[in-house]
Amino acid sequence: MTSSETLTGGVQPRPVVARLPRYAAGKPPAAVDGMASYKLSSNENPLPPLPAVLDAIAHQTDFNRYPDPLSSRLRAELSGFLGVPAEDIVTGAGSLGALNQLLATFAGRNDDGTPDEVVYAWRSFEAYPISVGLSGAESVRVPVTADGRHDLRAMAAAVTARTRMVLLCTPNNPTGPVLGTAETEEFIRRVPPHVVVVIDEAYQEFVRSEDAVDGLAIYRKFPNVVVLRTFSKAHGLAGLRVGYSVSSPVLTQHIRVAATPFAVSQIAETAAIVSLQNYPQVVERVQSLVEERERVTAGLRSLGWAVPDAQGNFVWLDLGEHSAGFAELAGTQALSVRAFPGEGVRVSIGEVDANTRFLQLCAKYTNAPRGS
């Protein structure tokens, strides 16, 4: 036996664990003499939570008690904010926690040992294959188009009798484009009604495309649709882990059974509520980031870079084999970016100075993807 097997008594993980990719969180920037360092690798909001949020959570003291497992106060606040019944909302530890609850409810391995299938675009959110694999289901990845969009026709064709769930990430992380309303509705009509269609809208507040699908409008039309949203991005609460799903009671009655108890802490619930109550200030902050995104996108295109439509708080550089090298070069400029080796680089929109330095780097870079 190896030394590690000797120490553990030969304990081994489930076979699926060895087959799963490892989640690679965005790395912090390296220190460079004479330069301020900026982290552009994790799609975080570079702005702190609102002052009212910080004040509210600073005075909370009830941590000796378990949180409300139903997050009743937050669900009531979201009900009024979104215009949906509170019973249609299930909270989770970020939108990823909410997704894991959906997978635990609707997709996995059947009593006869056969796995369900979950269809999603690729590349998309890198946690998808990990979460799907751990659920016991099998991933069916459908390549995105050349401009980073979901190929909905191909995704519909990939649905089989074993498909239990489809994941639609809009805007798509890491490539950036959104799904349109008409194409999404057409897709859902082509999917069997027993298949759960998840519309993952983690970056919904950053979307400015007039044709972009509105997950809440879709859920009102189709009982098999679930919408995922989060407080991590627009609200700047990534470290507190609070998100939620919205779906009809036909689905929520089952999701609550599989939901992780006490997933949302008291402090996270309070922060989310106060942020919603001060939403005009959130909108102002998001708009400042959208304007920076548009400045960065326009700047890249003026330099001759081919950049997909960016509707999140990030841009995608289709650098292929040059991706790792570009990330290393960015590191010499005290910028951390997220490289997907052999595919591309995702760069989060950060502070103004960070975005400017990123554009300066791109102006000098010689392997830029060019438009036709």
Sign of the Cα torsion 352, 41, 357, 313 reads negative
Helix-, strand-, coil-residue percentages of the chain, each rounded to 5? 40, 15, 40
For the record, the structure tokens of 300 come out as 């890249």
Give the residue with greater pLDDT, 263 vs 25.
263
pTM > 0.85: yes or no: yes
CA separation for the pair 289, 203 (Å, rounded) = 12
What pLDDT, on a 0 to 100 scale, did the predictor assign at position 5? 54
Q: What percentage of the chain exceeds 90 in pLDDT?
A: 90
pLDDT over 80 (residue 2): no
CA separation for the pair 95, 200 (Å, rounded) = 8
Write the CA distances from 14 to 19, 92, 133, integer angstroms. 10, 25, 11
Q: What is the pLDDT of residues 181-231, one digit of tens each?
A: 999 999 999 999 999 999 999 999 999 999 999 999 999 999 999 999 999
